[in-house]
Structure 1
Amino acid sequence: MSTQKTKVRIGVDIGGTFTDISIMDARGGIITKKVASTVDNYARAIGEGLAAAFGENALGGADVAELLHGTTVASNAILELKGARTGLITTKGFRDVLELRLLRMPRLYDLLWEKPPALVERSLRLEVDERVDAKGKIVRPLDPAEVEAALDRLLAEKVEAISVCLLHAYVNDAHERMIRDIIRRRAPEMVLSISSEVLPEIKEYERTSTTVINSYVKPVVGRYLKSLTADLKGVGITAPLLLMQSNGGLTPAEVAAEMPVHIIESGPAAGVIGARALARRAGFDKVISFDMGGTTAKAALVENGEVTRAEEYSVGGGIMIGSRLMSGAGYVLKVPAIDLAEVGAGGGSIIAIDAGGAPQVGPLSAGAFPGPVCYDLGGTEPTVTDANVVLGYINPTELAGGAVKLHAEKSRAVLAEKIAAPLGLPVERAAHGAHLVAAANMIRAIKAVSSERGRDPREFALVAFGGNGPLFAAGMARALGIRRVIVPPSAGVFSAVGLLYSDVEYHLSRTYRQRTTALDLPGLVAAWQALEDQAREKLAADGFRPDQIHLRRFAKLHYKGQAYELSVPMPEGPVTEATSARLDQAFGDEHERTYGHRAGPGEPVELVSLNLAATGELDTLRDTGGGMAAATAAPGERQAYFGPEHGWLPTPILGRGHLVGRDRQGPVVIEEYDCTCVVPPGMTARLDPHGNITIDTGIAA
Structure 2
Amino acid sequence: MSQNRITVAVDIGGTFTDLELRDDTTGQSHSLKSPTTPDDPARGLADALLLAAERFGFALSDIGLILHGTTIATNAVLTRDLPDGALITTEGFEDVLEIGRHARPDIYALRGPDRSVLIPRRRRFGAPGRIGAAGEVVRPLDAAALDSVISRVADSGVEATAICLLNAFTNPEHEIAIRKALLARCPGMAVSCSHEVSPEIREFERTATTVLNAQLVPVIHRYVTAVRKRLSDAGVIAPVYLIQSNGGAISLDAAVQAPVKLLLSGPSGGVLAAQKLARSLNTPDVVGVDMGGTSYDVAVISGGQRTVVTQGEIDGLPVRVPMVEMHTIGAGGGSIAFVDASGRLQVGPRSAGAVPGPVCYGRGGRNQPSPTST
Matches within 5 A, 1:312-323: 312-315=311-314, 317=315
How does the TM-score come out when normalised to structure 1?
A: 0.48
**Within 1, Cα distance between the matches of 2:182 and 2:350?**
42
- Per the alignment, residue 86 of structure 1 pairs with 85
What amino acid does structure 2 have at the position aligned with 1:378?
G
**Within 2, Cα distance between the matches of 1:107 and 1:367?**
33
| Structure possessing the higher relative contact order (Cα contacts under 8 Å, 6 or more residues apart) | 2
Check 1:254–1:134 CA distance in 2 against 1; reply closer, same or farther (3 A cut): same
- Per the alignment, residue 375 of structure 1 pairs with 361
**Within 2, Cα distance between the matches of 1:363 and 1:211?**
23
What amino acid does structure 1 have at the position aligned with 2:55?
E
Contact 2:60 2:236 (C-alpha < 8 Å) held by counterparts: yes
Contact 1:243 1:256 (C-alpha < 8 Å) held by counterparts: yes
Paired-residue identity, %: 40
- Per the alignment, residue 340 of structure 1 pairs with 326
Deviations 1:528-568 (A, max 9, x none): xxxxxxxxxxxxxxxxxxxxxxxxxxxxxxxxxxxxxxxxx
- Per the alignment, residue 177 of structure 2 pairs with 178
**Within 2, Cα distance between the matches of 1:93 and 1:375?**
52
Check 1:5–1:335 CA distance in 2 against 1; reply closer, same or farther (3 A cut): farther
Query: Does residue 15 of structure 1 match 2:13?
Result: yes
**Within 2, Cα distance between the matches of 1:352 and 1:132?**
48
What amino acid does structure 1 have at the position aligned with 2:322?
P
Contact 1:245 1:251 (C-alpha < 8 Å) held by counterparts: yes
Q: Secondary structure at the match of 2:44?
A: helix
Check 1:162–1:369 CA distance in 2 against 1; reply closer, same or farther (3 A cut): closer
Check 1:145–1:85 CA distance in 2 against 1; reply closer, same or farther (3 A cut): same
**Within 2, Cα distance between the matches of 1:177 and 1:237?**
38
Q: Secondary structure at the match of 1:49?
A: helix
**Within 2, Cα distance between the matches of 1:216 and 1:360?**
26
Contact 2:79 2:349 (C-alpha < 8 Å) held by counterparts: no
Using the TM superposition, give the Cα deviation of residue 51 of structure 1 relative to its aligned residue in structure 2, in angstroms: 0.8
Larger Rg: 1
Check 1:144–1:29 CA distance in 2 against 1; reply closer, same or farther (3 A cut): farther
Contact 2:154 2:185 (C-alpha < 8 Å) held by counterparts: no
Q: Secondary structure at the match of 1:307?
A: coil
Check 1:5–1:334 CA distance in 2 against 1; reply closer, same or farther (3 A cut): farther
- Per the alignment, residue 205 of structure 1 pairs with 204
Using the TM superposition, give the Cα deviation of residue 283 of structure 1 relative to its aligned residue in structure 2, in angstroms: 4.0
Deviations 1:560-594 (A, max 9, x none): xxxxxxxxxxxxxxxxxxxxxxxxxxxxxxxxxxx
Q: Secondary structure at the match of 2:11?
A: strand
Which consecutive unaligned segments of at least 5 residues does structure 1 have?
318-329, 354-358, 382-701
Deviations 1:668-697 (A, max 9, x none): xxxxxxxxxxxxxxxxxxxxxxxxxxxxxx
- Per the alignment, residue 371 of structure 2 pairs with none
Deviations 1:154-191 (A, max 9, x none): 11222222211111111222222222333344444332
Using the TM superposition, give the Cα deviation of residue 102 of structure 1 relative to its aligned residue in structure 2, in angstroms: 1.8
**Within 2, Cα distance between the matches of 1:45 and 1:110?**
48
Using the TM superposition, give the Cα deviation of residue 368 of structure 1 relative to its aligned residue in structure 2, in angstroms: 3.1
Check 1:82–1:362 CA distance in 2 against 1; reply closer, same or farther (3 A cut): closer
Deviates more, 1:19-28 or 1:81-90: 81-90
Using the TM superposition, give the Cα deviation of residue 256 of structure 1 relative to its aligned residue in structure 2, in angstroms: 0.4
**Within 2, Cα distance between the matches of 1:56 and 1:211?**
43
Q: How many residues align?
A: 360
Using the TM superposition, give the Cα deviation of residue 333 of structure 1 relative to its aligned residue in structure 2, in angstroms: 1.1
- Per the alignment, residue 152 of structure 2 pairs with 153
Using the TM superposition, give the Cα deviation of residue 24 of structure 1 relative to its aligned residue in structure 2, in angstroms: 1.0
Contact 1:13 1:19 (C-alpha < 8 Å) held by counterparts: yes
What amino acid does structure 1 have at the position aligned with 2:74?
S
Using the TM superposition, give the Cα deviation of residue 281 of structure 1 relative to its aligned residue in structure 2, in angstroms: 4.1
Q: Secondary structure at the match of 1:306?
A: coil
Matches within 5 A, 1:471-482: none
Check 1:140–1:46 CA distance in 2 against 1; reply closer, same or farther (3 A cut): same
Contact 1:170 1:195 (C-alpha < 8 Å) held by counterparts: yes
Which consecutive unaligned segments of at least 5 residues does structure 2 have?
340-344, 368-374
**Within 1, Cα distance between the matches of 2:184 and 2:351?**
47
Contact 1:60 1:235 (C-alpha < 8 Å) held by counterparts: no
Using the TM superposition, give the Cα deviation of residue 113 of structure 1 relative to its aligned residue in structure 2, in angstroms: 4.8
Q: Secondary structure at the match of 2:247?
A: coil
Contact 2:78 2:349 (C-alpha < 8 Å) held by counterparts: no
Deviations 1:23-46 (A, max 9, x none): 111133211110112222222211
Using the TM superposition, give the Cα deviation of residue 334 of structure 1 relative to its aligned residue in structure 2, in angstroms: 1.0
- Per the alignment, residue 227 of structure 1 pairs with 226
Matches within 5 A, 1:511-530: none
- Per the alignment, residue 193 of structure 1 pairs with 192
**Within 2, Cα distance between the matches of 1:101 and 1:164?**
17
Contact 2:296 2:332 (C-alpha < 8 Å) held by counterparts: yes
Q: Secondary structure at the match of 2:126?
A: strand
**Within 1, Cα distance between the matches of 2:4 and 2:184?**
47
**Within 2, Cα distance between the matches of 1:170 and 1:200?**
5
- Per the alignment, residue 370 of structure 2 pairs with none
Contact 1:84 1:215 (C-alpha < 8 Å) held by counterparts: no
Using the TM superposition, give the Cα deviation of residue 282 of structure 1 relative to its aligned residue in structure 2, in angstroms: 4.3
Check 1:200–1:344 CA distance in 2 against 1; reply closer, same or farther (3 A cut): closer
Matches within 5 A, 1:220-619: 220-315=219-314, 317=315, 330-343=316-329, 346-348=332-334, 366-378=352-364
**Within 2, Cα distance between the matches of 1:342 and 1:114?**
18
Check 1:155–1:52 CA distance in 2 against 1; reply closer, same or farther (3 A cut): same
> RMSD in angstroms over aligned alpha carbons?
2.8
Contact 1:199 1:211 (C-alpha < 8 Å) held by counterparts: yes
**Within 2, Cα distance between the matches of 1:266 and 1:96?**
30
Deviates more, 1:47-56 or 1:131-140: 131-140
Q: Secondary structure at the match of 2:33?
A: strand
Deviations 1:633-659 (A, max 9, x none): xxxxxxxxxxxxxxxxxxxxxxxxxxx
- Per the alignment, residue 133 of structure 2 pairs with 134
What amino acid does structure 2 have at the position aligned with 1:275?
A
How does the TM-score come out when normalised to structure 2?
A: 0.86
- Per the alignment, residue 416 of structure 1 pairs with none
Check 1:110–1:230 CA distance in 2 against 1; reply closer, same or farther (3 A cut): farther
Using the TM superposition, give the Cα deviation of residue 132 of structure 1 relative to its aligned residue in structure 2, in angstroms: 2.0
Q: Secondary structure at the match of 2:114?
A: coil
- Per the alignment, residue 36 of structure 1 pairs with 35
**Within 1, Cα distance between the matches of 2:110 and 2:349?**
18
